[in-house]
Structure 1
């Protein structure tokens, strides 16, 4: 039977003790004075080391950790690998074979993607009168999903049904059904109104409009297929319930809920089994496993303006313990740090900086690992052209503020070492003892993930908070205005654009 040791009011099992590199305390200790001193030192280290809680699902832990945790909870059956891509089991449409996403090419400091927008051409298929009538009825109730029935031309469709089957009905019904599929699957908001939205939604690849329409007409089940296109996340369902409970007279509240329901549609329909998500205006990061929030961490996000945090959907590729920081030229040259480091080696050493002059005359400055490093003691790599990542910070006082928008775009994370250890255990199948040792070693160590996890940097101004209650959050970047305006305007035709065409600003500055 594993023994337990109390830390404060919580009970930490053998897994936690292993995670912090300390063996469970035995009932009796008859060792020498040296043994007792070593045990005392280990106990002291345990109090300082991050703690890994024991509520992680058994099937997600490495084998060495499962044995310890199984004392506290039964072994769960293994599950499949998590994926950010949606499954198509709900619609019955075969999905393309998933392939790993390539690592994005590092972008220059500022670049403007070249986007050639092409209006999407919807497929045309034969419609029976009964299927067309089912579509008309579905359109009549689509307001419950936060969409606008008038967008799908119910009057014209009713008239076409009255004229009977034929080319006119096929063309109109196919077009409005395709619009409905696009809006439920990808969101109604046009891309130009999605400010700094770079989270490419994979749903249209996994669930092509043509296949969805073909299945609906083959099964003669338009409403059934439509019902299965909405996001699977329970937070979307909570917003839907709230929308339908909000009186029509409360237009402002309904519009805000409607806009945030659409933001869920901008993401993958199924976010995966295990993922990290931060809601920027909430200043919180979640570790979610099987739709359950297992950990939450306060965050510090980008300051409004040029340093605002963009919205991304990326993948954890590695955890870096005790990272180095290559200082950007805006500080090395612009603020004179490079000259100071080279001109005052003693000051540089005391502050953890190493610098050298390149062949072209520029100066490179790298801050070495340590508690004063700008990245703190942990960094989570999630390759993207924006140079955005999650990291620790030595400036812990910022987590005490209610509004935490102080960074240059990256996400500073509370209890970051604990998060990094958890990712190493889950994503690299690393024994908890090894993860704890790496976190305390004081030396740079990059742990590559063997099992990757999605990371979503989102922007919801009305959503479920980390305690599960629906509430509004401050629109710190002013991104609600264009979304709300788009819902007041006529629906725009979809194009091939998949993300914002705004300039990519790469700051790589955690200060």
Structure 2
């Protein structure tokens, strides 16, 4: 069921209301007071307070139709800011997480909240629901250092680019933290160290679904890596290439399954247009580094077999996973149901004690996001 429909049920609506119908909402004194309070509170979410000059002018005229029109416009502008953020297209460049919230019927939801007297709930429901956002919001309110406040503000904005809800079950990879987390039924059940792309080949920001786990995978070697190293090795030293498992067949370069395979002994089945995957690696020593930006873009995962077994709980036991790995045979095991995965980038995160820690901006992406709110003012 669409999020918008769920939200409309929460507000007591019977169906979708068109934008034109939203113009007839009840903007009495009580609802106007709530709206003005939310406009004044916008800076608490690191948002600009939208101009209320048109509403003030309408109120001074005493024309109820003008008041309704101005209040609708102001409320919807503020709602879109909470829901989608204020960044320009240039600031969002490279953020490729699909957000179905853009299709939400805000005019219809606004009308329903006005009729039900739940305007506060309407605005609250448009904020990101992940607990990380609440931690950032709290820290932003009390932080006095301008540089730190700017970092928190940018990351609050990034959260507005995410879906309001990531789902009760999901994986979130934070490339800036070199970490992946798994949530089940709304609770974080595990964290794994990851290695991400080098600064020259950064891990992209995107979302997809995990449908299965490939144990003992073949590596389909990307053309860029063939050009960089593998192609020359196969041509110049065939015996060395064979010893490393590299083969040329069917017009493509591949690497056989095995403990020296560049994908290690596990790769997630997570279709995406970037050919970026979570997988194992034979270079386990790199997980001991604090800054782990070493790959060509893929996400190498610490304790990869343990991670795979956790994803496959209810489908395969750890013993069964280990047996498949020991067999050396390339095997794909489907998850019980697709699991959303978000590959994101947050440089201000919870420190686990109610505060916030600022991470190094390894990819230099923070400076792309202005704190002047160019997309909203």
Common fold by TM > 0.5? yes
SS at match of 1:141: helix
Unpaired segments of 5 or more residues in structure 2?
Answer: none
SS at match of 2:258: coil
Matched pairs, number:
371
1:418 corresponds to 2:306:
yes
Which residue is equivalent to 2:36?
A: 136
Question: Equivalent of 1:261, from 153, 156, 171?
Answer: 156
Partners of 2:3 and 2:121 lie apart in 1 by: 22
Partners of 1:412 and 1:327 lie apart in 2 by: 15
Which residue is equivalent to 2:368?
A: 482
Which residue is equivalent to 1:162?
A: 60
Which residue is equivalent to 2:98?
A: 200
1:458 corresponds to 2:353:
no
Partners of 2:222 and 2:305 lie apart in 1 by: 24
CA separation of 1:435/1:468 partners in 2, compared to 1, >3 Å: closer, same or farther? farther
Which residue is equivalent to 1:402?
A: 290
The Cα shift of 1:208 comes to: 1.8
1:217 corresponds to 2:217:
no
CA separation of 1:95/1:382 partners in 2, compared to 1, >3 Å: closer, same or farther? farther
CA separation of 1:167/1:322 partners in 2, compared to 1, >3 Å: closer, same or farther? same
Listed one character per residue, the Cα deviations across residues 217-262 of structure 1 (whole Å, up to 9, x for unaligned) are 2223322311222122111111111122224xx3332222222112
Partners of 2:123 and 2:228 lie apart in 1 by: 56
SS at match of 1:425: coil
Partners of 1:184 and 1:410 lie apart in 2 by: 32
Which residue is equivalent to 2:242?
A: 349
Is the Cα contact below 8 Å between 2:207 and 2:340 reproduced in 1?
yes
CA separation of 1:91/1:286 partners in 2, compared to 1, >3 Å: closer, same or farther? farther
Which residue is equivalent to 1:68?
A: none
Partners of 1:84 and 1:370 lie apart in 2 by: 43
CA separation of 1:84/1:351 partners in 2, compared to 1, >3 Å: closer, same or farther? farther
Question: Equivalent of 2:254, from 366, 372, 375?
Answer: 366
The Cα shift of 1:375 comes to: 0.4
The Cα shift of 1:417 comes to: 0.9
Which residue is equivalent to 1:287?
A: 182
Aligned-residue CA RMSD (Å)? 2.7
Partners of 1:210 and 1:221 lie apart in 2 by: 14
Normalising by structure 2, we get a TM-score of 0.89
Is the Cα contact below 8 Å between 2:194 and 2:300 reproduced in 1?
yes
SS at match of 2:339: strand
Partners of 2:311 and 2:124 lie apart in 1 by: 35
CA separation of 1:222/1:163 partners in 2, compared to 1, >3 Å: closer, same or farther? farther
Unpaired segments of 5 or more residues in structure 1?
Answer: 1-82, 97-120, 494-511
Larger radius of gyration: 1
Partners of 2:55 and 2:317 lie apart in 1 by: 61
Question: Equivalent of 1:379, from 267, 272, 292?
Answer: 267
Partners of 1:478 and 1:123 lie apart in 2 by: 45
Report matched runs for 1:45-124 at 5 Å.
87-88=6-7, 90-91=10-11
Question: Equivalent of 2:140, from 243, 260, 263?
Answer: 243
The Cα shift of 1:91 comes to: 4.7
Partners of 1:260 and 1:395 lie apart in 2 by: 32
Partners of 2:253 and 2:353 lie apart in 1 by: 42
CA separation of 1:140/1:123 partners in 2, compared to 1, >3 Å: closer, same or farther? farther
CA separation of 1:90/1:268 partners in 2, compared to 1, >3 Å: closer, same or farther? farther
Normalising by structure 1, we get a TM-score of 0.67
Listed one character per residue, the Cα deviations across residues 446-499 of structure 1 (whole Å, up to 9, x for unaligned) are 11223111111111111114677520001111211121x2x3144448xxxxxx
Partners of 1:174 and 1:480 lie apart in 2 by: 34
1:435 corresponds to 2:321:
yes
Segment drifting more, 133-142 vs 466-475: 466-475
Q: Which runs of 4+ in 1 moved over 4 A?
A: 83-87, 89-96, 121-124, 342-345, 465-469
CA separation of 1:251/1:468 partners in 2, compared to 1, >3 Å: closer, same or farther? closer
Bigger fraction of residues in helix:
2
Is the Cα contact below 8 Å between 1:124 and 1:171 reproduced in 2?
no
Question: Equivalent of 1:228, from 107, 125, 137?
Answer: 125
Partners of 1:482 and 1:164 lie apart in 2 by: 44
Which residue is equivalent to 1:191?
A: 89
1:319 corresponds to 2:207:
no
